[in-house]
Amino acid sequence: MTPELKGFIVLTVVKMLVVFTITLVGVALLTLLERKVSAWMQNRRGPNRVGYAGLLQPAADGLKNIIKEETLPDEANKILFMLAPLLSFVPALMLAAVIPFAAPLPVAFDFSLPVLGRFVHDGLVPMVVADLPVGFLFVLAISSLGVYGIALAGWSSNSKYSLLGGLRASAQMVSYEVPLGLSIIPVILLSGNVSFGAIITEQQTGLWYVLPLFFAFFLFFVSGFAETNRLPFDMPEAESELIAGYHTEYSAMKFSMFFIAEYANIVTVAAMTAALFFGGWDIPFTRWDQTPGLPQTLASGLFMFGKTMSFVFVVMWVRWTLPRFRYDQLMSLGWKFMLPLGLVYVMLIGSAVWLIENMLGVGSPVTRGFLLFGLNLGLGYLIFFIIDRGHVVRGSTARPEAVH
Amino acid sequence: MTEIVFYILGAAAVISGIACILQRNPVSAALWLVAAMFALAGIYVLLNAQFIGAIQVLVYAGAIMVLFLFVIMLLNLGRETSDIRRWPALMAGAAIAAGLAAPLLALRLYSPARLASEVSGSPVFGDPGAVLSQGAAAQGLAESQGVVGAIAGPLFQTYLVPFEVTSVLLLVAAVGAVVLAKRRL
């Protein structure tokens, strides 16, 4: 092995340790955050007994889950029953590896260790564990595997409620993968690349994609809810209909692995939204963060963290605000509204980009972004006020009085 | 280094393929097939075809096999005894397998040099290192055009008409399936 390769391996191992520690600790704290947010929205205090303001609650929960009895139903398919929590846990954690979380850091070192030999590195280190050329296609591929854990948990438990939950999960996740994939195509059209790094650089020089591609952002975020099985799309566990759906028969740590996977998926969806539509680690209105350096890396890391956390908060906010969909409504939303909207939007953005570049001859990404933003406003007016005739935006107060 | 990874992935693909056809339980068989697809995706990545690798996982493991699993779970196939008689079925299966394996074995009888000379320009068979070096050539293309661009260019420019015709074929198949499944539209 060359000294450069060894230097690369050392850096990667350090990044792995940092990212996975932050992810796992963060996920534990998110369970507390969720309970605090729900308490806040329901005007109560939430957990406040363990530690200062309930800060040690996740530790207490973890300890409880570890020493609790592991149940194993007699009629269950034993191997798959044990394997299912892993199959939803591992893909959820793998995703944390490919999302860039800060500006690249210049690192130079050259040292020797007694047995291992010389380690050399000199140059920019991208702040991501694996800087894959296929970028977020990897995220799509791996996140589509999460459904195996849920579907198999439902099937292998050999109970009616679990099976129904598993079936719902597989139907729902396959359905919403389609609008999720379609919502990303406009991003590829604008950036001309699928790697996260290139997309973020493109947004630094132009506009954040949430403006020119607002409907893609909307489709992505809504499909993200469905892919993570969060309310209002938590059909697979729907406790009022299915007890707990696919994890009815699970207890102790196996149960909490499903939960860790769910929260890790929330973080991934939030971080993906930040990276694809809100400039990733870009600090808005400044070009200071584009020259590499330690302060830039730290500051941009903080910005990425803030963006991700605000989307995590939105996810929780929605959960404690909206009621659950009915299953047929969920399916018709996915296939009859989101899929056609996604297809039309891809076509529209594709034609608009071609027109702007070839007919109007606009080369600057900022101008192009604002032109597309105008197009989005027009499309929004068309959808909300002409096709929908103002039903959604009018709200409940403006609805006609019920006939007495 | 890459050859070691190739042999590991190849062994994983073969073992999970065999396990897939030996399993009695349809759900386990489907899962072994997913494992085989994963190993294949790894081999694609080794060949510097990361895009194909990602699509392999996304489409086959992530979508098609989930639908398979969905159908298997809905039908709830148990360990039913087949009404086909055991020995005749085994004999027929062995005959078909032998028929399929014969061309492969015949290919092994060729020396690598003769194969390479007969199929001009192709890499030497039986040597993963040669194929992997072709992958290195693909890497140059991928670096100049991006991983996706290297595929999109030929697909949407050189082979546009075959591509479109294929999509019409798939559309026909989808319409046919709907017509068959729903008698009253």
- CATH code, B55: 1.20.120.1200
Of B54, B66, B148, the CB nearest to A151: B66
For residue B51, the chain A residues in CB contact (below 8 A) are: 134, 137
Nearest to A132 by CA among B4, B131, B54, B133: B54
The residue ranking higher by pLDDT, A20 or A135, is A20
Are B62 and A155 inside 8 Å of each other by CB? no
For residue B27, the chain A residues in CB contact (below 8 A) are: 77, 80, 152, 155-156
Looking at residue A390, its pLDDT comes to: 66
Are A151 and B54 inside 8 Å of each other by CB? no
Looking at residue A402, its pLDDT comes to: 61
Flag whether pLDDT at B119 surpasses 70.
Answer: no
Are B70 and A167 inside 8 Å of each other by CB? yes
Residues B133 and B156 both lie in one domain: no
Flag whether pLDDT at B15 surpasses 90.
Answer: yes
> Would the CA dihedral through B94, B100, B104, B106 be positive or negative?
positive
Looking at residue B140, its pLDDT comes to: 60
Residues B99 and B120 both lie in one domain: yes
Residue of chain B minimizing CA distance to A138: B54
Of A156, A163, A170, the CB nearest to B66: A170
Are A167 and B27 inside 8 Å of each other by CB? no
**Residue B57 C-alpha, separation from nearest chain A C-alpha, in angstroms:** 6
Domain holding B99, by residue range, is: 2-77+84-146
Peptide bond into A236 cis (omega under 30): no
Residues B103 and B182 both lie in one domain: no
Distance CA A171, CA A163 (A): 12
Domain holding A219, by residue range, is: 65-110+120-349
Residues B89 and B53 both lie in one domain: yes
Q: How many CB atoms lie within 10 A of CB A307?
A: 21
Can you tell me the mean pLDDT for B147-165?
81
Residues B41 and B110 both lie in one domain: yes
Q: How many domains does chain B have?
A: 2
Which of A5, A145, A161 is the best residue to mutate to test the B interface, defined by the most B CB atoms within 10 Å of its own CB?
Answer: A145
Of B54, B61, B66, the CB nearest to A138: B54
Helix axes A3-41, A294-319, angle to 10 degrees: 40
Of B51, B63, B73, the CB nearest to A134: B51
Looking at residue B130, its pLDDT comes to: 54
The residue ranking higher by pLDDT, A352 or B86, is A352
Flag whether pLDDT at B81 surpasses 60.
Answer: no
Residues B48 and B124 both lie in one domain: yes
For residue A77, the chain B residues in CB contact (below 8 A) are: 25, 27
Residue A23 lies in a domain: no
Render pLDDT for A103-127 as a digit per residue (tens, 0 to 9).
Answer: 777 777 777 777 777 777 777 777 8
Query: pTM of the predicted model, to two decimals?
Result: 0.81
Q: How many domains does chain A have?
A: 1
Distance CA A281, CA A302 (A): 8
Residues of A with CB under 8 A from a CB of B: 77, 80, 132-134, 137-138, 140-142, 144-145, 147-148, 151-152, 154-156, 163, 166-167, 170-171, 173-174, 177, 188, 192-194
Render pLDDT for A27-67 as a digit per residue (tens, 0 to 9).
Answer: 888 888 888 888 888 888 888 888 788 888 888 888 888 88
Looking at residue B124, its pLDDT comes to: 47
Separation of first and last alpha carbons in chain A: 83
Residues B55 and B116 both lie in one domain: yes
Looking at residue B12, its pLDDT comes to: 92
Residue A177 lies in a domain: yes
Residues B106 and B167 both lie in one domain: no
Give the E-state strand segments of B12-86 in sequence order.
none
3-class state of residue A68 by DSSP: coil
Helix axes B65-75, A146-156, angle to 10 degrees: 10
Of A133, A156, A174, the CB nearest to B66: A174
Residues B109 and B153 both lie in one domain: no
Flag whether pLDDT at B114 surpasses 80.
Answer: no
Please, what is the average pLDDT of chain A? Answer: 82
Distance CA B82, CA B89 (A): 10
Which of A83, A148, A202 is the best residue to mutate to test the B interface, defined by the most B CB atoms within 10 Å of its own CB?
Answer: A148
Can you tell me the mean pLDDT for A334-359?
85
Residue of chain A minimizing CA distance to B60: A141
Which of A90, A95, A134 is the best residue to mutate to test the B interface, defined by the most B CB atoms within 10 Å of its own CB?
Answer: A134
pLDDT band at A383 (very low <50, low <70, confident <90, very high): confident
**Residue A364 φ then ψ, to 5°:** -70, 130
Distance CA A189, CA A170 (A): 30
Flag whether pLDDT at A226 surpasses 90.
Answer: no
Percent of chain A residues past pLDDT 90, beyond the cut: 0
Flag whether pLDDT at A3 surpasses 80.
Answer: no
3-state percent helix, strand, coil for chain A, nearest multiple of 5: 65, 5, 30
Are A77 and B27 inside 8 Å of each other by CB? yes
The residue ranking higher by pLDDT, A77 or B176, is B176
Residues B100 and B60 both lie in one domain: yes
Token pair of A29 as six digits: 């704290």
Flag whether pLDDT at A401 surpasses 70.
Answer: no
pLDDT band at B173 (very low <50, low <70, confident <90, very high): very high
Give the E-state strand segments of A67-200 in sequence order.
102-113, 117-127
pLDDT band at B125 (very low <50, low <70, confident <90, very high): very low
Looking at residue B78, its pLDDT comes to: 56
Are A133 and B31 inside 8 Å of each other by CB? no
Can you tell me the mean pLDDT for A151-178?
83
Flag whether pLDDT at A318 surpasses 80.
Answer: yes
Percent of chain B residues past pLDDT 70, beyond the cut: 73
**Residue A37 C-alpha, separation from nearest chain B C-alpha, in angstroms:** 33
For residue B28, the chain A residues in CB contact (below 8 A) are: 80
Alpha-carbon distance values, A282 to A257, A291, A299, A386, B53 (Å): 33, 12, 10, 37, 30
**Residue B116 C-alpha, separation from nearest chain A C-alpha, in angstroms:** 32
Residue A261 lies in a domain: yes
Residues B45 and B115 both lie in one domain: yes
Residues B11 and B50 both lie in one domain: yes
Can you tell me the mean pLDDT for A374-388?
80
**What is the ipTM for the molecules in this complex?**
0.76
